[in-house]
Structure 1
Amino acid sequence: MLAQYLKFFINGGTIGVVAWGLQWLIYNEMGGNSGKEYSIAAALTYAPLVGINFMIQRKWIFNNSGVFFRFAMANFAIMIFVSLSSPLCRTVIDNIFGSPWGDRFGFVGASLIGSIPSFFITRIWVFGVRKL
């Protein structure tokens, strides 16, 4: 399980960097000045990466045929969590470090927090891996 989590973390980090850049681009294209725009940009960021992520996790991380519908539903649930918690993380980071750090790292913080339940949901419910 530790090896799977390490691969999951590496994959998530790589996709996370891509998502971070895409989210930042979308947020700025939308005008980039509110929590609502930040949440929308976070949600739109997930859409193109779900299919790629499923293939990587199926072949490299869990080496098991999963159910894409379940994967999409699990990602949708995590997307909602990250989208709703991104503005909170943005505010907390701004309060600690000042503006504009919240804009830059709020999504990252929410994504890191969401990665823990995401791993277990994906591992058990999507790919059916229950052994340690």
Structure 2
Amino acid sequence: MQKILKERLYSYLVDNRVDLFLDLQHKGGLKEYLNSSVSAIAPQIREMQESGEPDLYIEEYCMDELTRKLRPSPFLYLYRVLEEEFEEDFHRMREDGILTYELINILGCCRDIFERNAFSEETEEDRYLRYEITGAVGDYLSGS
């Protein structure tokens, strides 16, 4: 079960938090992150297995727990903003093969905005956050 959860968490990071994935990989901490994250919920896994919960239910519950602090993804938020508000730049970057690279750079420029607005599932739809992020992306793209 723990091996499956580590694989699923790895895939989640690649698909949803590529910024964190690359940072952990660069620092050599990816394996430790996966191991410690899954080890932290090992008691819950044992308890659920002992109570006879189906493996599929345990996996889904554990993935929800493992990804709770990782949601929502600032990377995917910026992806959507770039795709919706700066469509031409988005397509150019994707065609040039630099979209992920540029999104990570943009994320670095917007990190303070996300923190100041306490980016979370509750604030993700805040229009003022969207305006502020859109302005910062526009500044980044114009080289300001």
The alignment's TM-score, normalised by the length of structure 2, stands at 0.36
By relative contact order (CA 8 Å, sep 6+), the higher-ranking structure is 1
Rg larger for: 2
